[in-house]
Structure 1
Amino acid sequence: MIRIVSLFVPSLWIILALCAFDVNSQEVAPLRRYAYARNAMGSEFNLVFYAPSDSLAKVASDSAFARIQLLNNLLSDYLDGSEVNRLSETAGTGQRFYASAILFDILEKSKSLSAKTNGAFDVTVGPIVQLWRRAIRRNYFPDKSQLKEARDAVGYRFVRLRAEDRSVVLKRKKMRIDFGAIGKGYAADDVLKVLKSFGIDRAFLDAGGDLAIGDAPPEKEGWRIEVSSGGGDTTATHILTLKNCGVATSGSTYRHFDYKGVRYSHIVSPYTGVGLTTHTRTTVITQNGTDADALATAFSVLGIKKSQKVAKRLKGVEVWLLEQNASKKAHYKY
């Protein structure tokens, strides 16, 4: 669990808002703290930033949440007619899908992270996720044939991207794209970009546990973040002061599926098609929220030993792992 410590309290306009800076004055308007919260992408988004005026804060926050809604409309596999669902409908047909700039960008980032993690993070895991959603609703365990069918439709290497015209081809039948392990981190990064367009750099967004962190608050070294890397008797808490980075935690503490005495994580392995049974609590700090979100899932899938090998190949990444079943802990920083 990640939480920010003691921080949250619940286009002509742009020109007017910017006037609050009073460019003809030698005095700079003091920065004030603003906090907003809204539900999006199935989670609560908490946004905190510093701005010189109420009017600028309002237009900036409205624009930030409008961006989140746009991303959800494009990338959610829960929404009929979303762009990602329209792409998935072309799987195995040989049809070339011409993607928006946003969809193509997140697909490029996803493929790169899949390659870096040996497929432990795989944006084509949709068929497995869909299978387990049905199984959990109906309280049954998928049989071997269902698991094989789902696994056979997964494979990031079978996503063909052509940058010249932003076209995408899904080579395997029944492939489905699922941004559940990267979408909120990507949205958090995008929000910071929106705020920067308004001249707001001192900002923090908690996107349901996926954090994107900008410049430090005024007269502070960074944002104080409490990272809990365990649960129950294994809780390990760290207070960190961070800026200009992304943070994400992944684990099965709150979301899991119990079947015949075995607890299966909501995190499914692209390798086996089954929810994880070795429950690794993972926290990742890296350059941005997109990478942190995807890597937290990947390291949960890989476990401690394999995660260390992957982390060594990455730059600017810090990882805490706790395998709760075996009470094994690890901390890597590269």
Structure 2
Amino acid sequence: MKNKKIPVVLATLFVLAVLAVGFWRTSSPSVEDHEVQEFLMDTVVNIRVSGEDAEEAVEASLRRMRELADKIDINRDDNQLNEINRQAGQKAVEVDEEVLFIIQNAKEYGELSQGGFDVTIAPVLNLWGFGSGTPGVPSEEEITERLELVNYEDIIIDEEASTVMLAREGMRLDLGGASKGYIIEQGIETLKEYGIESALIGAGDIRALGTRPDGEEWTVAIRNPRPESDKFADNEFGGQYVTAVRGADFSMATSGDYERYFEEDGEMYHHILDAKTGYPVRGLASVTVITDTTLMEVDLLSTALFIMGFEEAKEYIESKEHLEGMIITEELEIWQSQGFEKLKAE
């Protein structure tokens, strides 16, 4: 039968900040409300801020996030990331402190997932064509050959010299799955510098600063990975979302198989690849992790846990007091940590 290919679906976990947190306006005429939506880091970024000089703060926050995103954009030829890729197997490249920090953290999560999550996956990811407009399933031989270029342990980091080198020619780093949380966190830090105490940045992942301007907790909804099914059709969200959580000063990240995918011969292939096999991870539909610490941690962690699978992900979340989570299997069975239940909005 002839292969049937459909365009890659960019269905980012968009937690509908406008819908989920509702519209708000402050009562004080001296306090501004400002909201901006922009395409950044290959996704839609929503920023909602309340406070004096809110507009100026948002502009500064966006500048900061753009600056960081440009540094690690694999599609730009003029940044440090692609200099590392160009010099693979040849020499080390000096990088700035932030790029070094992102790469170090990515390598740590490679170790956590025992190599399942690996930012050197780019040579294999390119075979699948995600983002190219013409995705397709590569041959087993092609995948096997490219897997020889994938190994996070071959990222050579010299902290003292602030250099990074890929051990073998043909290796490539892709930090797209390892940097968004850090970039958003820096956007929040910029808002704080302007005295902002109430803000929410949604970019698939969510970072909430303080409470809403009215003092109420933020409420965010978590997307149903299979809205076309009848599994959650009778809930209060009409099946579009599985549940909603409430909180203040928190970070939430979700990794799911519905974020970017294509279908071929009736089978769905998503972009979260197991770096040990070169194929999309099977077993889970989504993993959501919530913490009261930085977004960088849960952004990386949600992907690593998705790759690790149900049992290991469950055990890891349960072992960390500062983490709560929800796991949805491909069969749409749900597991929620004990603390997650307490976060659910009523």
TM-score, with length taken from structure 1: 0.84
1:257 and 2:270 equivalent? Answer: no
Q: 2:311 aligns with which of 284, 305, 312?
A: 305
In the alignment, which of 61, 70, 91 is matched to residue 73 of structure 1? Answer: 70
User: 1:262-284 deviations in whole A, cap 9, x for unaligned?
Assistant: 21112111111012343422211
Post-superposition CA distance 1:278-304 (Å, at most 9, x none): 342221112222122212212222221
- Is 2:139 aligned against 1:126? no
Distance 1:136 1:161, change over 3 A: same
Question: Which residues in structure 2 correspond to 1:65-214 (within 5 Å)?
Answer: 65-93=62-90, 95-133=91-129, 137-138=133-134, 140-207=136-203, 209-214=204-209
**Partner Cα separation in structure 2 for residue 122 and residue 148 of structure 1:** 16
CA distance, structure 1, for counterparts of residue 31 and residue 336 of structure 2: 37
For the residues of structure 1 that align with 2:39 and 2:132, how far apart are their CA atoms?
24
Match status 1:215 vs 2:220: no
**Contact (CA 8 Å) 1:263, 1:277: kept in 2 or not?**
no
* Separation of aligned partners in 2, 1:166 and 1:197: 27
> 1:63 is aligned with what amino acid?
A
CA distance in 1, matches of 2:130, 2:56: 41
Change (3 A) 1:138 1:49: closer
Residue of structure 2 equivalent to 1:292: 298
Paired position in structure 2 for 1:238: 243
Separation in structure 2 between the aligned mates of residue 65 and residue 320 of structure 1, nearest angstrom: 30
CA RMSD of aligned residues (A): 2.5
- Counterpart residue identity of residue 102, structure 2: I
Residue 275 (structure 1) aligned with residue 271 (structure 2): no
**Distance in 1, Cα, partners of 2:68 & 2:48:** 20
User: Is the partner of 2:156 in helix, strand or coil?
Assistant: strand
Unmatched segments (≥5 aa) in structure 2: 1-12, 233-240, 340-346
How far 1:306 moved relative to its partner?
Answer: 2.2
Deviation at 1:75, TM superposition (A): 0.7
Aligned to 2:46: 46
TM-score (norm 2): 0.81
Q: CA deviation at 1:136?
A: 6.7
SS for the counterpart of 2:177 is coil
- C-alpha distance in structure 1 between counterparts of 2:64 and 2:244, whole Å: 31
List per-residue Cα deviations over 1:24-57 (Å, max 9, x = no partner): xxxx9853322111111222111011212xxx22
Residues 103-112 or 135-144, more deviating: 135-144
Q: Mark the runs of 5 or more structure 1 residues left unpaired by the alignment.
A: 10-27
- After TM superposition, the structure 1 stretch with the greater mean CA deviation from structure 2, 148-157 or 216-225, is 216-225
Distance 1:45 1:8 in 2: 17
Shift of 1:237: 2.6
Shift of 1:107: 1.0
Counterpart of 2:87, as a letter, is T
Say if 1:182 and 1:222 are closer, same or farther in 2 by CA, change over 3 A.
farther
More divergent stretch after superposition (264-273 vs 233-242): 233-242
Change (3 A) 1:134 1:110: closer
What secondary structure does 1:181 align onto? Answer: helix
Kept in 2: contact 1:73–1:79 (CA 8 A): yes
Of structures 1 and 2, the one with the larger relative CO (CA 8 A, separation 6+) is 2
Distance in 2, matches of 1:50 and 1:138, equals: 42
1:182 is paired with a residue whose SS is: helix
From 222, 228, 232, the counterpart of 1:227: 222
- Contact 2:128–2:135, Cα closer than 8 Å, also in 1: no
Supply the AA of the counterpart residue of 2:140: K
Aligned partner of residue 125 in structure 2, secondary structure = helix
* Secondary structure at the counterpart of residue 129 of structure 2: helix
**For residues 78 and 8 of structure 1, do their structure 2 counterparts lie closer, same or farther at Cα, with a shift above 3 Å needed?**
farther
Q: Per the alignment, in what secondary structure is the counterpart of residue 35 of structure 1?
A: strand
Report the number of matched residues: 311
State the Cα distance separating 1:99 from its structure 2 match: 0.5
Q: Is the Cα–Cα contact under 8 Å of residues 262 and 277 in structure 1 kept in the other structure?
A: no
Contact preservation (8 Å) 1:284, 1:317: yes
